[in-house]
Structure 1
Amino acid sequence: MKKGLVSIITPIYNGAKYVRETIDSVINQTYTNWEMIIVDDGSKDESANIVKEYARKDNRITLLQQANAGSASARNNGIRNAEGQYIALLDADDLWEPVFLASQLALMQKTGGIVVHASYKRINEKSEEILQPYIAKKIVTYKLMQMTNHIACLTGLYDTSKYGKIYLKEELKSIRDDYAYWLEIVSLAGRSYGNQDVLASYRVMSSSTTGKKKKLIKAQFFFYYRYQKLSLIRSLVYTGYWGVLGLSKFMK
């Protein structure tokens, strides 16, 4: 582990359209002690070639390639190869503000926490801002995390110094695996501290369909009932809570 180094883990699958913008948002960070491990999960487009182009110019950027196995597997591949004290997960179509790392590390130092998250805005396929920014809860406890994932994956930062590396649950088949990841970290840390500053941009794709949303509802319920092993009633109540919260995010 290299003290002070942030390992940024980015899985990519056919993400050539947006990955340049994502990498540029990392290169533009005011905090410069980072490594970016981009894991190509069997892409069939120009994703790997674009990353290689960046890696030739900046030795902080590394490309790993694997046969298609899903985002959880790709992230775990990156985490296994990470050398940093801190772990961040950034998807290949999302963006960070230039002060993201500096601000999150400052919040860690101020609170003494080992996990932090942040507020973020939503952007469309043209990188135009839509809706209102989502403002993070100042403190997220394990109990709150049991109800729903309050840590947007692109904003989380975890200090591995105390508990070591945490890996995603590949058995979840890349559905709710990020929720399980942050839930486990908060269970160890006790709480995550939320940055009120808007530090990232989450890309909302218009390709999201009603059918996919119905599948997510089922996955969310079983995450409570089978993965967390909550009672049937609590699982149903929490699924309803998750649904209402999700709707409210897209009504602002």
Structure 2
Amino acid sequence: MDDREQGLVSIIAISYNHAPFIREALDSVFAQTYQHIELIIVDDASTDQSAAVIQSCIAGKNIQFIRNTANEGNCRSFNKALRLSKGRYIIDFALDDLMYPERVAKQVTLLEQCGNNGVCFTNVDIINTESKIIKQHYPALHHKLHKDFIPQGNVFEALLSRYYINPVSMMFKREVIEALNGYDESLAYEDFDFWIRSSRLFSYVYLPEVLSAKRIVPNSLSGLFYQQRQQHMFQSTLKVCKKAWWLCETEEEKKALVHRCRYEIKQALRYKYTSVVKEYAVILKAIDPLFYVYGIFISAAAYIWK
């Protein structure tokens, strides 16, 4: 029986200038109650003491450590580690975040029980740089309402419409990422593209527990998303929306894409990325000329009135 059949979990941990948080993050991995784990760490040419902290934390342990000589970005760094991994299940883990002790065990159990699901996600604590909990990703709700509030199964349309999954919480089966040929290395970030492409092929399942913590760090990739001088981020989102256009199968999904494009147009106008706005307009026009006119009018009006 090989590692995949035994339920090996590959945790691919990416670090870029995470030195103050690395020891706590790695300790949270070492504290997992599930024992059949391989850990592969990539430091993406950090300019702080991240590499030294990592080496100190893993000394004497059987852990693969890749130290990039130049900054390659999350997508390429993840794919490099993925090619070395052997796990049946994969977690993409940033070394400024945390996982709670039962996380891996509970997600593996759920994915093994639900054979048709490829991705499992959970609720998440949002913490600050001092590891204090600020809030939860999903607010506390009555259990039934909570379950109904979180889309599961075929979530393609829901993921097009809005951001609702915290990527920190995800575990996915190896066949999911293999079907996608890894992350798209032309993109500045991976989450939206992974969701759109994988949800067209695999079902998602929600585990209503808080099993991880997402740290809010100034100048992080997510924190910089909607800011000036971040053109690559805007272009990456546009590229995913173009992929989504080809993947839409129903009128409801096309309407969800229209909603997404209108939102992204508003953001691009706000930060004066006019070339991106024009390309979104092409997508809207391809769906329906009425959506095109309405989308541009509403987005421009929202920008002017802001």
Aligned with 1:169 (options 161, 184, 187) = 184
Q: Deviations 1:104-127 (Å, cap 9, x if unpaired)? A: 112112322222111101001111
Alignment match, 2:134: 130
More helix by share: 2
**Higher Cα radius of gyration:** 2
The one of 107, 110, 114 aligned to 1:111: 114
2:21 is aligned, of 18, 23, 44, to 18
**Which residue is 2:3 aligned to?**
2
Local SS of the residue matching 1:17: helix
State the Cα distance separating 1:153 from its structure 2 match: 1.9
Identity %: 26
Between the aligned partners of 2:31 and 2:224, the Cα distance in structure 1 is 38
Q: Deviations over 1:45-104 (max 9, x none)?
A: 221122222322321x22111221111111111111111111110111011010000111
| Matches of 2:162 and 2:215, distance apart in 1 | 20
Deviation at 1:147, TM superposition (A): 2.5
**Structure 1 residues 168 and 220: CA distance shift in structure 2, 3 A:** closer
The reply on whether 1:187 has 2:187 as its aligned counterpart is: no
Q: How high is the TM-score relative to the length of structure 2?
A: 0.69
Distance 1:222 1:233, change over 3 A: farther
TM-score w.r.t. structure 1 length?
A: 0.82
Q: Which has the higher contact order (CA 8 A, sep 6+)?
A: 1
**Per-residue Cα deviation, 1:143-183 (whole angstroms, up to 9, x for no partner):** 222333443222111112577364111111x23x2221233
Describe the shift of the 1:133–1:221 C-alpha distance in structure 2 as closer, same or farther (beyond 3 A).
Answer: closer
Q: Where does the alignment leave 5 or more consecutive residues of structure 2 unmatched?
A: 140-146, 249-253, 266-306
**Please, what is the CA RMSD of the aligned residues?**
3.0
Aligned AA (2:172)? Y
State which of 174, 179, 184 in structure 2 corresponds to 1:160.
Answer: 174
Contact 1:148/1:242 (8 A) holds in 2 = no
Distance between the aligned counterparts of 1:214 and 1:85, measured in 2? Answer: 37
CA distance in 2, matches of 1:10, 1:92: 6
Q: 1:241 to 1:118 in 2, by over 3 A?
A: farther
Structure whose residues are more often strand by fraction: 1
Between the two proteins, the alignment pairs up a number of residues equal to 239
Match of 2:99 in 1: 96
- Unmatched 5+ residue regions in structure 1? 244-252
